[in-house]
Amino acid sequence: MKKIYSFLLFVSCFFLFANSHGQTVAEIAKAMFAKTKTIKTITYTMKKTERIKGKPVLQISSAKINLSPLKVYLRQSFPKDGIEVLYVQGTNNNHALVNPNGFPWFSVNLDPYGSTMRENQHHTLMNSGYDHVISILEHLYAKYNENIESMTKIDGSAVWDGHNCWVVTLSNPYFKYGNYTAQKGETLLTIAGKFKLSEHMMLEKNPSIKSYTESLAGKTILIPNDYSSKMTLYIDKVRMIPLIMKVYDNEGLYECYEYTNVVINPVIKPEEFQSDYKDYHF
């Protein structure tokens, strides 16, 4: 009887282990892509480290986001506590209202794509949430469909912010730089959107280009063929959302995003995307 019981216990444990560890990267990715598309609203705290001119720049902010139409409220806690940003698609001439919590001592309206808001930033607030990174991953999965299995692996499990996560790595041996001749109407922004690239990476590789919106028609510029040489993601096993994203280029860690206190589809009151909301200081 003891032998039968031990055998049944072994079988039970085996299947529990298989069910929790037997997912392929493709299955995890597919579930993650599907899950992120169900997100309508999201709140989180994000610690981001981005390499700017060869040095890591750290920023920590909390966010409230409504995806469609896009509404974003950000409050920075580091490096300057109290900076606030409010953007509501289709209002305020599609500018963001910014409380600098310092000089010039009043809130200002700024272009999300302008040089002031893009200073020391890899991305614009228009890329808030998961949609941007998921679109990049979907593009890579489609582009390297036949080779994606050999390019991806599960590096084990980890706990982040109290959540059990898969650690998944996408290594891209095809990553390289090459020349590209810009067509009429193209800018770094449009090229990045067209090929799912980092416009900041292209800006740093082409010192003669002064802004993301500069017309590049007829110019030959240096661009990467993909977004990165490697990505490592910590994917929540239950919610199927990425909680950490590490992005590498040929020089090393290029950007890292660490999410905590993530709440999917919370109820966010309409007044929380208004400048006179009681908790804000615009």
Q: What tens digit of pLDDT does each residue of 54-88 get?
A: 999 999 999 999 999 999 999 999 999 999 999 99
Q: Which residue has the tokens 């509501």?
A: 88
Query: What's the confidence (pLDDT) of residue 23?
Result: 84
Is residue 19 pLDDT above 70, yes or no? Answer: no
pLDDT by residue (tens digit) across 206-243? 999 999 999 999 999 999 999 999 999 999 999 999 99
Q: What's the pLDDT band for 20 if we cut at 50, 70, 90?
A: very low
Domains of the chain: 26-175+226-273 (2.50.20.10)
Is residue 248 pLDDT above 60, yes or no? Answer: yes
- 91-124 b/e (C-beta count within 10 Å ≥ 16 → b): eeeebbbbbbeeeeeebeebebbeeebbeeebbb
H helix or E strand, kind and range, residue 177: strand 177-181
Query: What's the confidence (pLDDT) of residue 1?
Result: 43
Are 92 and 282 in contact by the 8 Å Cβ rule? The answer is no
Q: In terms of Cα–Cα distance, which of 192, 148, 154 is closest to 172?
A: 148
Is residue 18 pLDDT above 50, yes or no? Answer: no
Is residue 4 pLDDT above 50, yes or no? Answer: no
Are 32 and 235 in contact by the 8 Å Cβ rule? The answer is yes
Query: What's the confidence (pLDDT) of residue 22?
Result: 67
pTM: 0.89
Query: What's the confidence (pLDDT) of residue 121?
Result: 95
Q: In terms of Cα–Cα distance, which of 34, 33, 59 is closest to 258?
A: 59
Is residue 16 pLDDT above 50, yes or no? Answer: no
Neighbours of 43 (CB within 10 A): 17
pLDDT by residue (tens digit) across 108-167? 999 999 999 999 999 999 999 999 999 999 999 999 999 999 999 999 999 999 999 999
What average pLDDT does the structure give for the chain? Answer: 92
